[in-house]
A and B are shown apart, each in its own frame.
Chain A
Amino acid sequence: MQNKLLFILLFALILPQAQAGEAVPTADDVVLEERVMSVSSELRCLVCQNQTIADSHAELAVDLRNQVREKLRQGMSEQEIKDYMVARYGDFVLYRPLMKRSTWLLWFGPFLLLALAFGVLIVKLRQRRSAIQQASTLSPAEHARAELLLSGTDKEARP
């Protein structure tokens, strides 16, 4: 409980500062800012590789967001900006990997594994079924003994 309170207090302290760090977008900037964020969320921050440059607070991410804003202002399309980034940082900068030969394993690997697992499952089930079928074929003598056992008279039947 105390921890929670402390956390809220801390958060309340941080919040105004977080806002103060960014320029308040003016009315006509809102559309641009949205586009900046939408392009940025497609680009990987290479410093903290599991974040997009929209999420990251790394200095490079801030610089790259500014670049994106600048380019959008200059009238570059979103695709052109992505191409610009890829030319400098490589395909890895795209947060959603491209579909090409070198990424096929990445895209289809999980499905391949799933198919493989299903294959193993089916083979195993078949093996088990045939094992059960083999085991259930009893000879007439075994049948007779089983009946004796079930009828509860096996005690007398035993030598």
Chain B
Amino acid sequence: MTRFLLPLAAFIVLVIFLGIGLNLKPREVPSPLIDKPAPAFRVPQLHEEAKTIATEDMRGKVWLLNVWASWCVTCREEHPLLVEFAQQNLVPIYGLNYKDKREDAIAWLTERGNPYVVSAHDRDGNIGIDYGVYGVPETFVIDKQGIIRYKQIGPVTAEALKDKIIPLVKELNGAK
């Protein structure tokens, strides 16, 4: 009997490991920036080149930083949800337009709606590197002290909003 039980047990263990392996998300590498200050930047705004936008302007409020680009296919998927979420006015969403042509980016927002209070224009992707961006879209939740509290890799989903982002934003806004 043990003759069959042992290989069966070994097989079941293998299947369990395989199952765990299949459910891992190797593309979602945990960011070392969680609970660290958001890297500072001051860059031209997307719509008004003469004006700048900086992380220090956001001191004292909870905000989202959504990294996006007009060439990014997954951003299209995420966009309607962001537009809808922005209308709820729960938290200001700022965009980081990543490695994009200004005209393309503006046209993209005109066509699809603009959920962002302001978008920063990161033409060369240097801010992206500072934020450890490796797959657009990515979204950061940043608290009143300018600390990154959460990072969503890939598109913001309805579940991520409901389970993670909204509760976190409420909690951060509640805490003085």
A: which residues have CB within 8 A of B? 46-47, 49, 59-60, 63-64, 67, 86-92
Contacts and interface: CB of A to CB of B under 8 A. Distances in A.
Contact of A88 (B99, B129, B135): B129
Contact of B134 (A46, A67, A87): A46
A90 B29 CA distance: 8
Size class of the contact patch on chain B: 10 to 19
A60 B131 CA distance: 13
B31 interface: yes
Interface of B: 26-27, 29-33, 99, 124-125, 129-132, 134-135
B132 A90 contact: yes
Q: Which 5 A-B pairs have the closest CB atoms?
A: A46-B134, A88-B132, A90-B32, A92-B29, A89-B132
The B interface, classified by DSSP as helix, strand, loop or mixed, is loop
A89 B132 CA distance: 5
Nearest to B130: A88
A60 B125 CA distance: 9
B122 to A, nearest CB: 11
Contacts of B26: 49
Given A47-B134, A60-B134, A89 B125 contact: no
Contact of A49 (B27, B33, B129): B27
